[in-house]
Amino acid sequence: MGNIIEVKNLSRKFGDFTAVNDISFDVKEGEVFAFLGPNGAGKSTTIKMLTTLLQPTGGSISLNGHNPKNDPSAVRSSFGIVFQDPSLDDELTAWENMEFHGVLYGVEKKLRRKRIDELLKFVELDDRKDSLVKEFSGGMKRRLEIARGLLHHPKVIFLDEPTLGLDPQTRNHMWTYLQELNKSEGVTVFFTTHYMEEASRIAQRIAIIDHGKIIATGTSAELQTQTQTASLEDAFLKLTGSEIRDEEAGAGDRMRMMGKMFSGGGRR
Amino acid sequence: MRTIYIMWLRELKRYLRSRSRIIGSLGQPLLFLLALGYGLGSVFQKAGQGNYINFLAPGIVGMSIIFTAIFSGIGVIWDRQFGFLKETMVAPVSRFNIMIGRTLGGATIATIQGTLVFLLALIPGFRPYNWALVLPTILVMLLVGLLFTALGTGIASQLQDMQGFQLIVNFLVMPLFFLSGSLFPLTGLPKVLSAITKIDPLSYGIDAFRILLTHSGHYSLSLDISVLAVVTLVFLALGSYLFSKIQI
């Protein structure tokens, strides 16, 4: 099987800060791929570049044979994404958020309605489908986002820390569904997580990124052999060190940082 | 088409759901209408300019439209902050259509607000000279709404957070409103002020309202519509260009 994602010498700088530094990796079609790294290692920046939200400052990307730079529309119709931060419309109901997504992705009406019903049942929100999203708890919002990301049955699904704040039941439930989708429809799954046990159990292949560089790639077993450790968690700690990282800047901070960049560094 | 429709529908749904915002945003125009209308009415009359409420009402309609339109354009920043912008930005549809749908939504809302203010103005005694011209007036409201929503969207595409909001209100919306001839006649103004009112697109919108509703205006209706149409096209082009360049 071919590579559905090919990344070559990809870089992204924010002013003087290099968030992603000359990384290269491939993801095979139909693979479940985990992208791991400590806070601020460059995971989210890489995902943003893969999903056309951010332009790279160097290197190239091919996703499903398309280049995000030349043909963003073709790339966008190839993937689905569950973001790390919420991206729902709080003023719309759960059902409306799904419907909106389905229409934007051109899912035909009958199929759309059927899938919305199925997915809302699957994430156990069908009894709340007409409630405004702003009345939902954090976990409920998360589940709705996952359901929404799956609505258009993409070729690749990106999940940026999808299980953050979910209870073990929902987490387990979600991975079972994703693995089924992976088997039945060959959907490639690309995810990030801080739960090493989850990555070890779910991912067929793992890449570890730190300080903007990919420092190891392989199966969980390969990484353990390479580092002579007994678990992925230990392998991860050995590769990335055990010092605690600064939390990644919140969305607001990042925005401000970028705002400064765009206006040439001097904003009052 | 479906993109434009769903974006338009979203704006409308959000608007209709926030009843308190609808009522709240009618407070300011009503205050202007009553305080200025009655407060300056006799002075205006003595200066030989006729009924001030009649003069003022089209201006206040314009005020509610520019406020509603620019703020709904600025909504892009809220969407950015609450994350929803990402959802629309990764969708496989043209960003031009997203922008057009949003802008049409904002313009529709502005038109509804404008119409509500028009109805409110009937209470203190405003009457259009010909009721048949109310419908064309509403169409012009839509055009003015489009113009300013596009402007708001363009500006918001360049801003990263709400910090610039106050700046926009004080240095853009307020001047556009106060210098548009909404509160005073455009004749006999000092040269500088006269020049400024000529480059303020809202002047032409309010002038068109006055021509249609009170049969008195400064320019001609054809000039008003032409200027509004051209500026709207420019702002739409500029706004959609800036919107398409958004990175997150």
- Record the tokens describing residue B8, joined without a space: 């338009």
Inter-chain touch A103–B248, beta carbons under 8 Å: no
Task: Supply the pLDDT for residue A268.
Answer: 34
Inter-chain touch A92–B2, beta carbons under 8 Å: no
**Whether B81 contacts chain A with CB within 8 A:** yes
Closest alpha carbon within chain A to B90: A76
Task: Supply the pLDDT for residue A247.
Answer: 57
Mutation for testing the B interface, residue in A97, A104, A263 having most B CBs under 10 Å: A104
Is A20 a domain residue? yes
CA B83 to chain A, closest CA, distance in angstroms equals 4
Is A149 a domain residue? no
**Whether B160 contacts chain A with CB within 8 A:** yes
Is A242 a domain residue? yes
Is A138 a domain residue? no
Phi, psi of A4, rounded to the nearest 5 degrees:
-90, -30
Is A93 a domain residue? no
CA B153 to chain A, closest CA, distance in angstroms equals 17
Residue A264 clears pLDDT 70, i.e. is over it: no
pLDDT band at A40 (very low <50, low <70, confident <90, very high): confident
Give 10-residue mean pLDDT values along chain B (248 residues).
93 90 89 92 88 94 95 90 89 91 96 96 92 96 97 91 83 94 91 94 96 92 97 95 86
Three-state SS annotation for chain A: CCEEEEEEEEEEEECCEEEEEEEEEEEECCCEEEEECCCCCCHHHHHHHHCCCCCCCEEEEEECCECCCCCHHHHHCCEEEECCCCCCCCCCEHHHHHHHHHHHCCCCHHHHHHHHHHHHHHCCCHHHCCCEHHHCCHHHHHHHHHHHHHCCCCCEEEEECCCCCCCHHHHHHHHHHHHHHHHHHCCEEEEECCCHHHHHHHCCEEEEEECCEEEEEECHHHHHHHHCCCCHHHHHHHHHCCCCCCCCCCHHHHHHHHHHHHCCCCCC
Give me the domain span that covers residue A42. Answer: 3-78+154-262
Residue A256 clears pLDDT 60, i.e. is over it: no
In total, how many domains does chain A have? 1
Residue A266 clears pLDDT 50, i.e. is over it: no
The CA distances from residue A55 to A26, A235, B81, B248, in Å, are 19, 32, 20, 9
> How many CB atoms lie under 10 A from the CB of residue A127?
9
**Whether B19 contacts chain A with CB within 8 A:** no
Residue B192 contacts by C-beta under 8 Å, 6 or more apart in sequence?
Answer: none
Task: Supply the pLDDT for residue A246.
Answer: 64
Task: Supply the pLDDT for residue A257.
Answer: 52
Of B3, B84, B248, the CB nearest to A48: B248
Is A214 a domain residue? yes
Task: Supply the pLDDT for residue A123.
Answer: 84
| CA–CA gap between residue A217 and residue B228 (Å, rounded) | 59
Looking up residue A57, the CATH number of its domain turns out to be 3.40.50.300
Mean pLDDT of chain A: 87
Is A228 a domain residue? yes
Residues belonging to chain A with any Cβ–Cβ distance to chain B shorter than 8 Å = 48, 51-55, 73-74, 76-77, 79, 81, 83, 85-92, 96, 100-101, 103-106, 132, 251-252, 255-256, 258-259, 262
Inter-chain touch A103–B94, beta carbons under 8 Å: no
pLDDT digits (tens, 9 = 90+) for B147-202: 999 999 999 998 888 888 888 888 999 999 999 999 999 988 999 999 999 999 99
- Record the tokens describing residue B203, joined without a space: 């002047």
Task: Supply the pLDDT for residue A262.
Answer: 47
Q: What is the mean pLDDT of residues A27-34?
A: 94
Buried b (16+ CB within 10 A) or exposed e, A23-48: bebbbeebbbbbbbbbebbbbbbbbb
**Whether B89 contacts chain A with CB within 8 A:** yes
pLDDT digits (tens, 9 = 90+) for A94-148: 999 999 999 999 999 999 999 999 999 988 899 999 999 999 988 888 889 988 9
Listed as own residue / partner, the contacts of A241-246 with beta carbons closer than 8 Å and 24 or more positions apart are A245/A38, A245/A39, A245/A40, A245/A41, A246/A39, A246/A40
Residue A260 clears pLDDT 50, i.e. is over it: no
User: Is A134:A90 a contact under the CB 8 Å cutoff?
Assistant: yes
Here the ipTM equals 0.87
CA B79 to chain A, closest CA, distance in angstroms equals 8
**Given CA atoms A113, A119, A121, A123 in this order, what sign does their dihedral have?**
negative
Partners of residue A27 on adjacent β-strands: A5
| CA–CA gap between residue B21 and residue B112 (Å, rounded) | 13
Is A191 a domain residue? yes
Q: What is the DSSP string of chain B?
A: -HHHHHHHHHHHHHHHH-HHHHHHHHHHHHHHHHHHHHHTHHHHHHTT---HHHHHHHHHHHHHHHHHHHHHHHHHHHHHHHSHHHHHHTSSS-HHHHHHHHHHHHHHHHHHHHHHHHHHHTTTT---S-GGGHHHHHHHHHHHHHHHHHHHHHHHHH-SSGGGHHHHIIIIIHHHHHTTTSSS-STT--HHHHHHHHH-HHHHHHHHHHHHHHS--SS-HHHHHHHHHHHHHHHHHHHHHHHHT---
| CA–CA gap between residue B50 and residue B175 (Å, rounded) | 26
pLDDT band at A168 (very low <50, low <70, confident <90, very high): confident
pLDDT band at A263 (very low <50, low <70, confident <90, very high): very low
Residue B118 contacts by C-beta under 8 Å, 6 or more apart in sequence?
Answer: B57, B61, B134, B137, B213
User: Is A39:A248 a contact under the CB 8 Å cutoff?
Assistant: yes
**Model pTM score:** 0.85
**Whether B166 contacts chain A with CB within 8 A:** no
Angle at which helices B52-82 and B201-214 pack, to 10 degrees? 130
pLDDT digits (tens, 9 = 90+) for A63-92: 999 998 888 888 998 899 998 888 999 999
Residue A243 clears pLDDT 80, i.e. is over it: no
